[in-house]
Structure 1
Amino acid sequence: MVTRRTVLAALGIAAYPARLFASTADTVIPLWPATPPGGGGPAGPINVSAKGAVSNIAAPSMEVFQPAKPNGAAVLVAAGGGYKRIEMKKEALSAARWLTDRGFTVFTLTYRLPGEAWNAGPLAPLQDAQRALRLIRQNASRFEVDPDRLGVLGFSAGGHLLGMASVRSAFPSYERIDAADGLSARPSFSALIYPIITLEPPYDHTSTRRILIGTHPSPERSADWSVQTHVRSGCPPMFLVQAQDDPISDPANARIMADTCKRAGVPVELHQLTSGGHGFGMGEKDTTTGVWPDYFSAWLTTVASAASTRR
């Protein structure tokens, strides 16, 4: 069996410290057979902070977490970090544990960070997300998942990334390289948690905007890299959560996305928490944020079972 450690070693990348992977994924899938589209990128091993955030990502990949009792559905998870880092431990791995406990097969995405000298620039993470969705579908039988029951869960900047992947699934962000790229990159359902949605004023104070499109982007560029701009009928059903006191992603982000989905006829469920700030992951017990996974569980039961009949 190809393991996380053997693949990373073959790529010349130091394995993540075992303490970050207590739930332990035993399979890693590199996203690209060689250099990612456009080339460039950082050198040396991946960096892992004391809090379990990763950066200096030279080889984007997915880790696979398989449940004891699979329900046939799969979820691609992308943590946030302002496109400066990826909060793997705080967001992606806690989500993986929660989802596998409920029968979902989980793929956590280690995507390229645009500020790490990738020639594809802001397209790099979107290329990785689209490629990841296609590779999951290509490997559906291997992991015993239904390719028509493949959703996404993104946090903060990861919410922006998987939001863009959800609404721009047909956009050719890179040239086809193999058979996997002939498969759909459209998620069957999409959950975005305290997401960055719009990069337009007056909500453009985020690291996501600065790293993706610079300090003084044109109005056209700001609109083009905003998720809501690309919502159309036929986009996957959306689940949105945001605290009303979020100091990083203005609470208007989730409302803008919900309103745009409603106008386009896209099924959407929005939960606005009275408090909780930003970066609460799967919620904190005995706080306002502790309730959202219950809402999510109920929503998943509906959309995951209906996804195969909708496609």
Structure 2
Amino acid sequence: MTNQLSRIITIIVICLTSSFVSAQNKSIPLYQGKIPNSTGAPEEEIRENNNILLISNVQKPALEVFTPPKRNRNGKAVIICPGGGYHYLAYDWEGTEIAKWFNSKGITAFVLKYRLPIAKTVTNKSEVPLSDAIQAIKMVRKNAETWNINPNDIGIMGFSAGGHLASTLGTHYNMDYNIKNDPYKDISARPDFMILIYPVITMEATYTHRGSREALLGKQPTDEIIDLYSNEKQITKNTPPTFLLHCEDDDVVPVENSLLFYKALKENNVPAEMHLYPKGGHGFGLASNNAHLQTWTQRLYEWLWKMSNN
């Protein structure tokens, strides 16, 4: 083998190795030191994988970072909240797989492993998922330059109960949990846009998802807290532009959740786009095996493109 050929092979190996390393995603803890609203008791996170990776009893909330190739990045970023009824996180189905799709479109994605209110180690249970989401978007915004993203083009996305969390962030982003020595205290937690996929929206008994409501608010919530977390009642003119997706035959989270939210958005002159599919049920993720339903990702990409060019 000639010296020149050896050098060429070495260069190729280095380039491939560099590409591999740069493509690796990493998990970043949301908090340094003591985690707020936590007893600190020694509990373990639970991971189960039976076609879908389910994570429960989250103890250390974190962001997993997915970056597209540098040449394809467009500066947009999305934080993804997997669903699971506030009992667990469908972490790959409604998290990492979605992040990879965003990467294919040049969008940096972050999967949020947020704490669940049913965990024994969690205090102030109804506040904890939102406090983790607030911390997540502040962290991303403050470090936008590190990930080559636009700090004014960061959205929140959620599926099912994760959609409730995302819509709670979009309507309650000014809530202050007084985290001691918070390095992000002066950073805005307002998302620049929201993407809500078959979301739980209301806590009102008629249309809510009972399991999500009981996990978040308890078995006998007051009318006040029901109203506070019925996010269709919390929309203002400052609520971020929103993309909504739901199936009319959803027998887990009624389609009325999206309808109520969309109606309130329009009443407050907030830009919104809603897509309703007649069939598809609940929890379909990317819907890769449904030729009609899987087109929802194209609808989303078109909406994001329009948002960027308005």
Normalising by structure 1, report the TM-score: 0.87
Matched residue, 1:105: 108
What does 1:173-188 align with in structure 2 at a 5 Å threshold? 173-175=177-179, 177-188=181-192
Give the counterpart of 1:81 among 84, 88, 93: 84
Matched residue, 2:16: none
Structure 2: segments with no counterpart, 5+ residues? 1-21
Matched residue, 1:64: 65
Give the counterpart of 1:136 among 140, 156, 159: 140
* RMSD, aligned CA: 1.7
Give the counterpart of 1:94 among 97, 101, 116: 97
- Distance in 2, matches of 1:205 and 1:38, equals 25
What does 1:151-170 align with in structure 2 at a 5 Å threshold? 151-170=155-174
Q: Are 1:189 and 1:304, in contact at CA under 8 Å, matched by a contact in 2?
A: no
Summarize deviations over 1:144-196 as a string: whole Å, max 9, x none.
11100101111000000010001111121343533322100001010000000
Q: What percent of counterpart residues are identical? A: 32
Matching residue's letter, 1:46? E
Q: Which moved more, 1:204-213 or 1:240-249?
A: 204-213
Q: Which moved more, 1:201-210 or 1:118-127?
A: 201-210
Query: Is 2:121 aligned against 1:120?
Result: no
Compute the displacement of 1:91 (Å).
0.9
Matched residue, 1:52: 53
- Distance in 2, matches of 1:215 and 1:173, equals 24
Matched residue, 1:16: none
SS at match of 2:125: coil
Query: Is 2:269 aligned against 1:265?
Result: yes
Matched residue, 2:237: 233
The count of residues paired between Structure 1 and Structure 2 equals 284
Structure 1: segments with no counterpart, 5+ residues? 1-22, 307-311
Q: Which moved more, 1:172-181 or 1:122-131?
A: 172-181
Residues 212 and 28 of structure 1: CA distance in aligned 2, closer, same or farther (over 3 Å): same
- Distance in 2, matches of 1:129 and 1:209, equals 18
Compute the displacement of 1:53 (Å).
1.0
- Distance in 1, matches of 2:308 and 2:188, equals 17
SS at match of 2:246: strand
Q: Which moved more, 1:292-301 or 1:209-218?
A: 209-218
Q: Are 2:208 and 2:254, in contact at CA under 8 Å, matched by a contact in 1?
A: no
Higher Rg of the two aligned structures: 2
- Distance in 2, matches of 1:176 and 1:234, equals 28
- Distance in 2, matches of 1:176 and 1:247, equals 42
Give the counterpart of 2:221 among 217, 221, 242: 217
Compute the displacement of 1:42 (Å).
6.1
- Distance in 2, matches of 1:165 and 1:132, equals 11
Compute the displacement of 1:48 (Å).
1.3
Q: Are 1:72 and 1:104, in contact at CA under 8 Å, matched by a contact in 2?
A: yes
- Distance in 2, matches of 1:42 and 1:289, equals 44
Summarize deviations over 1:116-138 as a string: whole Å, max 9, x none.
02012110110000000000011
SS at match of 2:238: coil
Residues 95 and 305 of structure 1: CA distance in aligned 2, closer, same or farther (over 3 Å): farther
- Distance in 2, matches of 1:131 and 1:25, equals 23
Matching residue's letter, 1:115? I
